Chain A
Amino acid sequence: MLSLYHWEPNANSGKPMLALAEKGVEYESHYVDLINFDQHRPEYLAINPDGTIPAMVDDGRVFTESTPMMEYIDEAFAGPPLRPSGREERWRMRWWMRFFDSYFAPSLSMIGWSVFVGPAVRHRDRKELEAHIARIPLESRRIAWRKAMFNEFSAEELAESRRRGLFGTQVLERHLTQHPWIAGQSFSLADINGFNLGYALPLSQPEHCNDAKTPHIMEWLRKIYERPATQQTWAKGRTQLASRVTMLKRNAQG
């Protein structure tokens, strides 16, 4: 049986969740509560020693990188293809996934961690939080958690993240004026990836991402929102993070 260890349908966790739903693949779902630090508990570290989410286990083989994991899902399972058949479009799918993963998503998630993840845990005892940090395996994640927990993101880095968020939004809008989907003519893993980072853009950046300024992004997000696999996946959400997706309902008010 295929097992997926994931948090909310959001960002990296949502990528394999939505890819599996699009393929129609059943899996055993293990909810790993990021806010409760489940990902740093010994039972999870036994699966992914890096303590990052998501992780997938298929026939004893462990997968921990969400973007290559999606390519595996498409390659290993039957169901509708989620990668274009042409080489050029496959290259474009991969290039944009890297742009999302290394440029756009980290900037948006830094803002998300400062306004959602940090405040969700900050009220706890300082000693308890320090003990949690000490259990995080990767240095880069320790730094991120420390900044989120103790509100240590500098004004400069948040401003730079906002600048990149705006730049990324503009570049994406420009791209979607040329292509109906990220890779080109067909829905692909790059759209799944992009939706996971961008479904809440109209709420988090209402002044930059809206029907007047970014009509192509809005239409693209709504088309993905309306897919049955997206409805099914976001219904698994347990927090207000995931429920933000409903603002993509056509004619939704506010």
Chain B
Amino acid sequence: MLELYHGEPNIYFLKPLVALTEARAPFASRYFDPTTLEQCSPEFPHNLESALQLEREGPLLVDGATVLTSSFFVLEYIAESFPAAKLLPGDAYEHYRARAWGQFIALQLSPNVCALGCARYLAPVLRARDQAELRERIGRIEPLERRAAWMAVIDGSLNDTALAAVRERLQMPVMRFEHALAAGPWLAGPAYSIADIDAFAMLSPLAHLAPELVNERVAPRLIEFLARVRARPAVQQALATSKTGKPQEAFVPGAEPSRWG
């Protein structure tokens, strides 16, 4: 039986929840609260790759002895495990497009979405904790980059100037989606795919985090796309796994932005 380690159904954690539900795949839910840093404890499932955690906090899909991380590649693994669900449909060109979107979302979009979400929602949660204990726990996180990402949430790095730059960097990716959706309802080809699951999970928070970028006036096709994905029963079911009732407020630092600027 597959086991999915996940937090609230938002951003990275939402993706495998939707894909497994779309595929009607039986899985055991292992829910955790990433703000407690439980995922950094030695008891958590791990291997060389999960210890490096390019996306920092999961989700983790455990299939027997295999621990799988990096959310888009977990989506591909689910698509390959349950081919009847046709989560990666079409020919090699459509597969290329889905993978190119997965890469674009991971590297160009996600770090910026997470920066906005962490500044608004995660920072106040962490600031309400015992600071000495929190800093001690963060100080033990390995590797260094993962520790720095958590420290940045509480040390004031996500200030107004930094967030203004983040908003500016989000313009190009958001408009790419808007333009791409002129060709049809789905991103990778004529049919719904893991590219749409991936995009929905990372773009839907922008409707409330950056309404100046994602609204009916400047991005009408994107707004329709988000509504189209949200209306799918599997997406509704995945969102309903929330234990807080506010999944849209659950953020983790996520992958780091490019160091090239």
Q: How many residues of A contact B (CB 8 A)?
A: 40
A-B pairs with lowest CB-CB distance, top 10: A68-B99, A143-B261, A75-B92, A76-B92, A72-B96, A65-B100, A94-B73, A68-B100, A87-B80, A91-B77
Q: How many residues of B contact A (CB 8 A)?
A: 34
| Contact digits for B46-82, partner A, Cβ 8 Å, 1 yes 0 no | 0011001010000000010010111001101100110
Q: Does B255 contact A (CB under 8 A)?
A: yes
Interfacial residues of chain A within 148-207, with CB under 8 A of chain B in the complex: 157, 160-161, 167, 171, 174-175, 178
Q: Does B237 contact A (CB under 8 A)?
A: no
Q: Does A139 contact B (CB under 8 A)?
A: yes
Question: Who on chain A is nearest to B63 by CB?
Answer: A88
Whether the Cβ atoms of B48 and A175 lie closer than 8 Å is yes
- Mind listing 19 A-B residue pairs with CB under 8 Å? A65-B99, A71-B99, A72-B96, A75-B92, A88-B66, A90-B77, A91-B68, A95-B49, A98-B106, A102-B106, A102-B258, A106-B260, A107-B259, A140-B258, A143-B260, A157-B259, A171-B52, A175-B48, A178-B48
Which of A63, A76, A91, A147 touches B73 (beta carbons < 8 Å)? A91
CA distance A90 to B88 in the complex (A): 15
CA distance A160 to B145 in the complex (A): 11
| Contact digits for B110-154, partner A, Cβ 8 Å, 1 yes 0 no | 000000000000000000000000000000000100000000000
Q: Does A61 contact B (CB under 8 A)?
A: yes
- CB-CB under 8 A from B54, the residues of chain A are 95, 98-99, 102-103
Instruction: Show the binding face of B for A, using Cβ within 8 Å.
Output: 48-49, 52, 54, 63, 66, 68-70, 73-74, 76-77, 80-81, 92-93, 95-96, 99-100, 102-104, 106-107, 143, 169, 172, 255, 258-261
